[in-house]
Structure 1
Amino acid sequence: MSKNFWSNEWLKAQTKLSEIRQSLGTFPSPPLRIMRVSQLDADLLDNELFGMLKEQLLTAFGLFSPNFKETFEPELLAVLQFVLYRFSIYESGATYGAQLQNMKYRNEKRHVGGLQSTSADEPLSKFQRISYGALTVGGQYVWMRLNRLMTAQGWGELAENDIRRVFWKFMQKVENIYRTLSLANFLFFLYDGNANASKLNNPYETNCGHKYCYYCIKSKLIFEDGTWQCLRCGEEVKSVQRAIEIVNDDNGFNTNHVDGNAE
């Protein structure tokens, strides 16, 4: 075939290719799936880091005077939280724990379009980063300081028509609403977040033949001193291995792939 033939065919295909490119914007974006194990590990690492720095900070400032730490604890914790936020979320869009798990926050508003919107992760905007800091650092500081003020001055024991008493009751309602929403979120997870709803991420098989996610089974074995009873059959679990299933394709070849089906 001549070169002109391929050139003509290429030109004829341009119209169809252009239609395909334009239709990509109508395809829905695939759902973003992040391993819960990685999110849990990142949260634990962040809490451990903050707890360690908090203990050292309060111990150091407690040497100045006996009452210094108790009086200015909200301010000290706010400064510590701001420093961690400034050099993590604001700087790179991820906490230190998330960075260790190779995760980061992204601007979901820029990923709600068609399929082309998932080509690259869009970092958090400046407004989002500042809002995150204002809510987490500033919000926690204001809440802690207000609670200390109301407790120290006994706003809850004032007359019913006192404006401070009214504000105290409002704060109590806000706290109750927050706890109720947290409980509702947990109950929703129990209703719609069961393990059999989706495939396991990084599945491992026990010596009795049942499958669990790697984090769940390994943490159980560690906390139970190396032995644990299987939730499915009650047999004692002593060892686990990567769950791999051999699948025969249409050509008769054997293919190994990780089986993520929960039992």
Structure 2
Amino acid sequence: MTSVHPHDPNRSWQDAWNSAQDTIARIRVDVLSSSSPTPRVARVGKVDAELLDAELVQLLKEPLTKAFNLVDSTFKAKFDPELTLFIHLVLYKLSVWDHGASYGAKLQGLKYATPRRTACILTASGLPRSTLALHSFLTIFVPYFHNRVRAHALSNAWPDAPSSDRRRRAWELLARLESLHGLIALVNFIVFLGNGRYRTVADRIFGLRLISARRHFQREVSYEFMNRQMVWHAFTEFLLFLLPLINTRALRRQISSLTSRTTLASLLPAPLRALAGASPSSDAQSGKRTRGKYYTLRADQCAICADNASTNLNFSDPANALTSLSAVSPYTTAGTHTSDPEDPDYVPQFPIHSAYITSCGHTYCYYCLTERMMRAADERSGVGPKGMLWECLRCTEPVAAADRLEAEAEGPEYESGVDDDSDMDDAEDRSSFTSSLDNFTDTSGSVGSIGYSEYSGMNEDSD
């Protein structure tokens, strides 16, 4: 005969289990009767999904618009709403209709869900086909028709029509509908911020809610794109700070000067250059330029004026905007004069005013020459030491200085002043001398220290 000890642990555990059966049964009933909890989706994920969808539409529309503009430049103005409609339809079919979530919602780990309905034809995504058809019509076609009607009304001046006109009443009705829609959207968004269920008015009408696509979903934020954007932004800011400090004209001038002086013979060592028969003097002479851009221009015309005219566009007359480009041809061998110089009524196309002669022996206008020399010195875009000297447009020599041109008339009648034989001869000689200096007006002051007193086109023979 066995005896049970009063403090047996097995006996106490069995009594505890038997006494807890009623409590466990009540808990099971409560769990089975209660609904299963749904995971809470952050509101920011739903809003980000809508923004991502809008950005995707813009990314797809931009290259298509550029491609169609190559065929027809007025395509964007004519068919921009239709192109947006087409992109929206394609994206809706490939995302919401087939998979139950837009591309922005997929990136956020969300999908659409509707209340359970019976006897409904479902799509491949498991959503009712009739619900998605009405939802697409309300979210895609209604905005398209609104944009078209509004554009048509503005192009036909409906807002400016009389108050009794049907067009004016239709415009006012359209404005009221827009205000009403904006008010409803605002109220819906405030409610959405409160409960986080329906993001848009269309979603609320058809009961489409964005829920988590996975049972256990954790919102993960990747900062890789943000880091790349910050690095690129810092790099562009550095370039914006650095580029204005670089004198691009001087750098470009130095590079072009270096490449023009560099020849194949100069790259060879001295022994090989001697064997090839290329001497330093011949290399220097071959590399030296003796003719400038306007070396064929007549001596009584300013090459700087011609250069300015060749680069200035006539924007006042669109039909003749490019005529000034063809007015001067600096590379022609015939010069840039349109009339016969022997004609007594001949007027130079680019006359020299306040003539100044450079150290290389060419004549320019005082203001033109001063402006070019000061610009070359300030920007260091010229030639010579540190690019401080301006390069002559006729001979490509560096201009070190310039001085006022002094014209001298030589001849038997002008050896010791003006010896007049008669009043008539004096008048004729004076008028002849004055006409020869008409385009070389003298001014006080100079832009250099070197003066020259002879000019090839200023000597005039008198009878």
Q: How does the TM-score come out when normalised to structure 2?
A: 0.33
Alignment-derived partner of residue 250 in structure 1: none
Contact 1:156 1:165 in 2 (8 A): yes
1:56 pairs with 2:59: no
Identity %: 33
Alignment-derived partner of residue 110 in structure 1: 116
Q: 1:214 to 1:87 in 2, by over 3 A?
A: closer
Consecutive unaligned residues in structure 2, runs of 5 or more: 1-24, 118-124, 197-216, 231-463
Whose radius of gyration is greater, 1 or 2? Answer: 2
Contact 2:57 2:84 in 1 (8 A): no
Residue identity matched to 2:59: M
Residue identity matched to 1:148: A
Alignment-derived partner of residue 45 in structure 2: 38
Instruction: Measure, in 1, the Cα distance between the counterparts of 2:138 and 2:182.
Output: 17
SS at match of 1:124: coil
Residue identity matched to 1:150: A
Higher relative contact order (CA 8 A, sep 6+): 1
Alignment-derived partner of residue 87 in structure 1: 94
Residue identity matched to 1:87: L
- 1:175-190 aligned within 5 A: 175-187=178-190
Instruction: Measure, in 2, the Cα distance between the counterparts of 1:42 and 1:68.
Output: 30
Deviation at 1:34, TM superposition (A): 1.2
- 1:94-243 aligned within 5 A: 94-107=101-114, 109-110=115-116, 123-187=126-190
SS at match of 2:111: coil
Residue identity matched to 1:40: V
SS at match of 1:180: helix
Alignment-derived partner of residue 72 in structure 2: 65
Contact 2:95 2:102 in 1 (8 A): yes
Instruction: Measure, in 2, the Cα distance between the counterparts of 1:169 and 1:32.
Output: 46
Deviations 1:50-107 (A, max 9, x none): 1110111211111122212211111111111111111111111110121222211011
Contact 2:101 2:112 in 1 (8 A): yes
Residue identity matched to 1:156: P
Instruction: Measure, in 2, the Cα distance between the counterparts of 1:34 and 1:68.
Output: 42
Consecutive unaligned residues in structure 1, runs of 5 or more: 1-15, 112-121, 194-200, 203-212, 226-263
Contact 1:88 1:94 in 2 (8 A): yes
Q: 1:190 to 1:97 in 2, by over 3 A?
A: closer
Deviation at 1:190, TM superposition (A): 6.9
Return structure 1 stretches of 4+ with deviation > 3 angstroms: 26-32, 182-193
Q: 1:165 to 1:30 in 2, by over 3 A?
A: farther
Instruction: Measure, in 2, the Cα distance between the counterparts of 1:29 and 1:171.
Output: 46
Residue identity matched to 2:88: Q
Instruction: Give the strand-richer structure, 1 or 2.
Output: 1
Q: 1:31 to 1:160 in 2, by over 3 A?
A: farther
Q: 1:40 to 1:63 in 2, by over 3 A?
A: same
Contact 1:105 1:123 in 2 (8 A): no
Q: How large is the RMSD of aligned CA atoms in angstroms?
A: 3.8
Q: 1:84 to 1:181 in 2, by over 3 A?
A: same
Alignment-derived partner of residue 47 in structure 1: 54
Instruction: Measure, in 2, the Cα distance between the counterparts of 1:92 and 1:214.
Output: 22
Q: 1:141 to 1:155 in 2, by over 3 A?
A: same
Q: 1:80 to 1:190 in 2, by over 3 A?
A: closer
Q: 1:49 to 1:34 in 2, by over 3 A?
A: same
Contact 1:82 1:137 in 2 (8 A): yes
Deviations 1:202-225 (A, max 9, x none): 7xxxxxxxxxx986xx8xx97xx8
Q: 1:85 to 1:186 in 2, by over 3 A?
A: closer
Contact 1:93 1:129 in 2 (8 A): no
Instruction: Measure, in 1, the Cα distance between the counterparts of 2:192 and 2:91.
Output: 30
Residue identity matched to 1:142: F
Residue identity matched to 2:145: V
Contact 2:53 2:102 in 1 (8 A): yes
Q: 1:45 to 1:157 in 2, by over 3 A?
A: same
Deviation at 1:185, TM superposition (A): 4.0
Q: 1:190 to 1:110 in 2, by over 3 A?
A: closer
Instruction: Measure, in 1, the Cα distance between the counterparts of 2:62 and 2:44.
Output: 27
Contact 1:61 1:68 in 2 (8 A): yes
Contact 2:43 2:193 in 1 (8 A): no
SS at match of 1:160: coil
Count of residue pairs brought into register by the alignment: 178
